[in-house]
Amino acid sequence: MNDKKVLIDTSIWIDYFKNKSFILSEKVDKILSEDEVYVPKIVIAELIQGAKSEKEISIIEDFIDAFNIIDQKEDSWFKAGKLSYNLKRKSETVNLIDCYIAVIAQEHNCQIFTLDEHFKEIQKVTKIHLVS
C-alpha cells in the first residue's frame, strides 16, 4: 500500500461500470488495489440518480461497505460556494457540485480521479491534486 488517498469522481465510475475504456479500467483496478479509495456521498447520489435498474442501485449500495464514504464538514458548502464565486469572477462557470467535490477532496487530503475537465479550471484557483 502506498497510502495515497484517491477520491474517484462520478465520471470515472460511470465509464468503469460501462467498460468504456480498457486503459481506464486498468487504472481504476490499480487504484482499487494500491490506494485508499474515497467516495463522497454526493457521488453515490449521482450514481443512483443515473442508475438504469434496481440491480445497478444494489451494486452502488455495496459501495458503502467497500470504500471510505466521506461527507461534508461544517463549512464545506460555504467553501464550495466561495470557490464557485471565485471561478465566476475569472469567467469560469463550474458546476457547484464539482466545486463541492473539490472542497471535500481537499478536506480529506485526497487526489481527485476524474474525466471532468472542470477540475482543471478549479485547480487554477485552489490547491487540488488530480490523478493524471
Q: CATH code at 26?
A: 3.40.50.1010
- Tell how strand 129-130 and strand 5-8 pair up: unpaired
Count of the separate structural domains present in the chain: 1
pTM: 0.90
The Cβ of residue 98 has, within 10 Å, a number of other Cβ atoms equal to 25
Average pLDDT over residues 43-53: 92
**Domain region containing 119:** 5-130
Q: What are phi and psi of 51, to 5 degrees?
A: -60, 145
Q: Which of 1-15, 33-47, 76-90, 118-132 has the lowest mean pLDDT?
A: 1-15
Percent of the chain with pLDDT over 90: 84
As a whole number, the mean pLDDT across the chain is 92
Whole-angstrom distance, CA of residue 3 vs CA of residue 89 = 36
Q: How far apart are the first and last CA of the chain?
A: 19
User: Given this model, what pLDDT does residue 17 score?
Assistant: 86
Share of the chain above pLDDT 70, in %: 98
Count of residues making up the chain: 132
